[in-house]
Amino acid sequence: MEGNSVLKKSSKAKKDDLYHVIHKVPFGDTPYVKAKHAQLVDKDPEAAIVYFWKAINVGDKVDSALKDMAVVMKQLDRTEEAIEAIKSFRSLCSKHSQESLDNVLMDLYKKCGRVEEQIELLKRKLRLIYQGEAFNGRTTKTARSHGKKFQVSIKQETARLLGNLGWAYMQKTNYMMAEVVFKKAQMIDADANKALNLALCLMRQSRYEEAYLVLEQVLQGKLQGSDEIKSQNRAEELLIELNANLQQPKFMDDLGLDDDLVKGIDGLLNVWSPVRSRRLPIFEEISSFRDQLAC
């Protein structure tokens, strides 16, 4: 009988272990454990937030509780509340958790369109790198994306932050500053995504020939990530937009002719001669290259 009791206890323990593994919830009966159970098992985000608050108030895994609560609030479109929670309670968290809290804060700023705050946070993170205080003094850190871990160097992180800063300036239509930042990022660690953002930035300034030269690097596979479908598709879309927005020659306007007369002359030219492009020669080269890609 005693042997059977031991076997039953052992079997129950294994089932409990399997339960926690499957649902990815911690052991115990603390507020934080209850919060994770409500979040991941019961799928009750409102109850999870209540328990996360309790965990923070009693000092139970405050680092994780604050970050997880902010993520759940974001899912419930309580973004502003999540931002205020992080700002109010991050002082209770350990030093090594501050970077991950900044990352959550950045996502929250993006969701509610607070671009100025994004810019200030990115500048602060870059300042920490320049002052040698990032990565807790190490030259690399372990990052996670789509469930996979990988190593990120200070150089890569600097370029990534500069790329994000450039995009934030784009949202503010501060294209001159965005251009400077994108070019700095490319000098440090060039890739297709930042190149495409730089090309778009140049196009917004009507500097089409310069934009094409940047696009060409991606189209010809010269940059890291150029072979990704997403990069190729975006490069093609920008190329089409670039051609569509190319300014036409204004010699007819200089003659003081009205629109109807200009259209009439254009119509006659189409009848009398083969259709010729009115784009600059460099854009004729773009068209042939695009046709090759299409094949």
pLDDT of residue 128: 87
Measure the CA–CA gap between 15 and 5, rounded to whole angstroms: 15
Average pLDDT over residues 216-221: 94
Percentage of residues in the chain having pLDDT higher than 90: 59
Radius of gyration of the chain (CA): 28
**197-213 confidence digits (pLDDT tens):** 999 999 999 999 999 99
pLDDT confidence band for 152 (50 / 70 / 90)? confident
Check pLDDT > 70 for residue 5.
no
Q: Tokens at residue 242, please?
A: 């670039």
Expressed in angstroms, the distance from the first to the final Cα of the chain is 77
Cβ atoms of residues 283 and 243 within 8 Å: yes
pTM of the model as a whole? 0.71
**167-180 confidence digits (pLDDT tens):** 999 999 999 999 99
Check pLDDT > 60 for residue 142.
yes
**226-285 confidence digits (pLDDT tens):** 999 999 999 999 999 999 887 555 444 544 545 555 555 555 455 544 444 444 444 444
Is the Cα dihedral 255, 256, 258, 261 positive or negative? negative
Percentage of residues in the chain having pLDDT higher than 70: 73
Closest among 198, 189, 192 to 226, alpha carbons compared: 192
Contacts of residue 274, defined as CB under 8 A and 6 or more positions apart, other chains included, come to none
DSSP bridge pairs for 75: none
Higher pLDDT, 295 or 237: 237
Alpha helix (H) ranges present in 190-228?
192-204, 208-219
pLDDT confidence band for 79 (50 / 70 / 90)? very high
pLDDT of residue 130: 83
- 39 exposure class (CB count in 10 Å sphere: 0-12, 13-18, 19+): buried
Average pLDDT over residues 12-23: 44
SS3 content of the chain, % helix, strand, coil (to 5): 75, 5, 20
pLDDT of residue 149: 78
**18-62 confidence digits (pLDDT tens):** 444 444 556 678 999 999 989 988 899 999 999 999 999 999 999
Higher pLDDT, 196 or 16: 196
Check pLDDT > 60 for residue 162.
yes
pLDDT of residue 7: 42
Contacts of 133-142 with CB under 8 Å at 24 or more apart are 134/99, 136/95, 136/96
**121-140 confidence digits (pLDDT tens):** 999 999 988 888 877 777 78
Segment holding 68, helix H or strand E: helix 62-75
pLDDT confidence band for 9 (50 / 70 / 90)? very low
What rounded mean pLDDT belongs to the chain?
81
Average pLDDT over residues 68-85: 96
pLDDT of residue 17: 46
Measure the CA–CA gap between 86 and 73, rounded to whole angstroms: 11
